[in-house]
Amino acid sequence: MNAARMPSLAFAAMSAAPPAARAVAQATCKLLVDIPSMPPASARPHHEAGAVLTVPVGAAPGWVLRWSFVVFILAALAARPLLGAGPWTLDRALEMALKDNPDARIARQRAAGAEALSEQARAAWYPQLSLQGRYLETNSPMMAFGSILNQRAFNFGLDFNHPGRIDDFNVTGTVAYNLYSGGRASAGLAAAKGGVRAAEQDLRVAQQQLGAGVVKAWLNIRKAREAVGAVEAGAKAYAAAVSVAQARFDAGQMLKADLLSLEVQLAQTQENLAAARHRAALAERAFLYVLGLDAAGGTVELAADDPALARLTLPDTRDFSGRPELLGLQQRVRAAEAMVRAARGGRLPTVNAFASYQYDRGWQLNRAADSWMAGVAVELNVFDGGQTSGKIRQATAELEQVKEMLRQAMLGISLEVEQARLAYDEAVERLAVTARAVEQAGESAALSRARFEKGALLTADLIGVESRLIEARMRRAFAAADERIALAELRRALGLDPLNSPSNP
């Protein structure tokens, strides 16, 4: 590639790059222009240690151009996901939040942990197999005599008190299977399955809360930007009024005090505009936080006409029995009931079958043999000092506690649904009222501006009219976003996803 064209290509690509990539590109292009040329090695002068080498500034050598251009290409490739991402739609934001938000990840890990506990409980239904190996050398009479018997090396000439040095290599395989556990195994598995289903409902809770949070954050950006637009329109109106007032003052038709009043009002409106822009920037940062992304970055671009908003519809039911919080607590009640059965199983016997095979070899006696054993073991807890009774009482108390938590949740969710319904009704009413207020304030402002230009309206009256128009527009913007947010909260309160799926409008 022609080295002379590289800077021009880099500057052309910078215009389409986001701020982070643009900064890298600018630094790269600075390298392309400002790096001094290095003479070839054969032409470099020799210098004593500590001397300063002065090189004239000129065109960068080919290797610098090539490597600098590579740096720029790498930066551009790294920025490609940002360039091709496009504006944020609600569907894309929901997908990102469900994937990257820490709350969603935590809920998924809790569900995975509950599934792992279920796997542990299912292990009680499978036989247990173990292998054990060891090698020992001893002159202990008891240990040595046992090893001699296992190796089939006994003879009547053996001195039991001084058997000498004996070694033994032993490999043992054991199989055990629980035949009956007083219902504790089945109760434990039932409790673990209840925990898995409860964790799945907890994941749904996190997903629905994130969905409502994404919709709220997305709409809050629109609300903040519409507020900025309303204040900007007011600032432009005041600027136009100041221009008219200045002309009338120059013509001797207006007092200096009236002109100053308008200028003060314009300054206050510009101050309000700066505050509104700051709130819009905070809304963008909050939106990125909900998505699980770094809050630092450029401006968040929202889709202008997102069709997903049409799927934010009023539910046709007031039934909240599908709330995942309730379903999760119902599963926890079943799990607690299973734990009570498991505790009561401690009063019943345990029956286990077992079998083992072992191989022994000794090099001191140069003998080897194998053996096996099989049987059934029954264990019954006759008296444990009240430990089993205490476990039963504890499990029963925990069951009653979960039942009361379920009852408390039903009462609280019933109140939450009613509050969400009333909040939505209020938002709809506010939306209708503010729409009429904007229309009336706009018409009044148009008439007042015309009268002010003709000198038929006082400055204080014009200031009041413009202030009311700004306030009406901001209230209308807030009411429009609040109506959508209240609807999303109502759907969440009923246990519904904030947006209907496209196949189920």
Domain edge (last residue) among 375, 398, 421: 398
Domain edge (last residue) among 398, 420, 442: 398
pLDDT of residue 374: 96
Q: Is residue 403 part of a domain?
A: no
Q: pLDDT-derived band of residue 502, with 50, 70 and 90 as boundaries? A: low
Give the whole-angstrom CA distance, residue 295 versus residue 288.
Answer: 5
- Digit-coded pLDDT (tens) for 161-195: 888 899 999 999 999 999 999 999 999 999 999 99
User: Which residues have CB under 8 Å from 295's CB, separation 6+?
Assistant: 285, 288, 289
**Residue 33's domain spans which residues?**
3-40+56-85
Closest CA to 92 of 307, 324, 282: 307
Q: Is residue 467 part of a domain?
A: no
Among 70-79, 248-257, 312-321, the least confident range: 70-79
pLDDT at 305 exceeding the cut of 70: yes
pLDDT at 97 exceeding the cut of 80: yes
Q: Is residue 306 part of a domain?
A: no
- Digit-coded pLDDT (tens) for 380-400: 999 989 999 999 999 999 999
Higher-pLDDT residue of 418 and 65 is 418
Domain edge (last residue) among 380, 398, 416: 398
pLDDT at 346 exceeding the cut of 70: yes
pLDDT at 333 exceeding the cut of 90: yes
Do residues 119 and 183 share a domain?
Answer: yes
Mean pLDDT of all residues in 435-464: 84
Do residues 119 and 80 share a domain?
Answer: no
Q: Is residue 144 part of a domain?
A: yes
- The tally of domains found in the chain comes to 2
Do residues 120 and 180 share a domain?
Answer: yes
- Digit-coded pLDDT (tens) for 53-63: 344 444 445 54
Q: pLDDT-derived band of residue 503, with 50, 70 and 90 as boundaries? A: low
Q: String of b and e for 277-286 (b: at least 16 CB within 10 Å)?
A: beebeebbbb
Q: Is residue 129 part of a domain?
A: yes
Q: Is residue 386 part of a domain?
A: yes
Do residues 81 and 153 share a domain?
Answer: no
Which pair of tokens denotes residue 238?
């005041």
CA dihedral 80, 86, 89, 94 (to 10 degrees): 0
Do residues 73 and 120 share a domain?
Answer: no
Q: Is residue 367 part of a domain?
A: yes
Do residues 11 and 78 share a domain?
Answer: yes
Higher-pLDDT residue of 60 and 160 is 160
Do residues 68 and 140 share a domain?
Answer: no
Q: Is residue 66 part of a domain?
A: yes
pLDDT of residue 501: 66
pLDDT of residue 398: 96
pTM attached to this predicted model = 0.73
Is residue 129 within 8 A of residue 175, CB to CB? The reply is yes
Give the whole-angstrom CA distance, residue 498 versus residue 142.
Answer: 75
What percent of the chain is modeled with pLDDT above 70? 82
Q: Tell me the average pLDDT of the chain.
A: 83
Do residues 9 and 80 share a domain?
Answer: yes
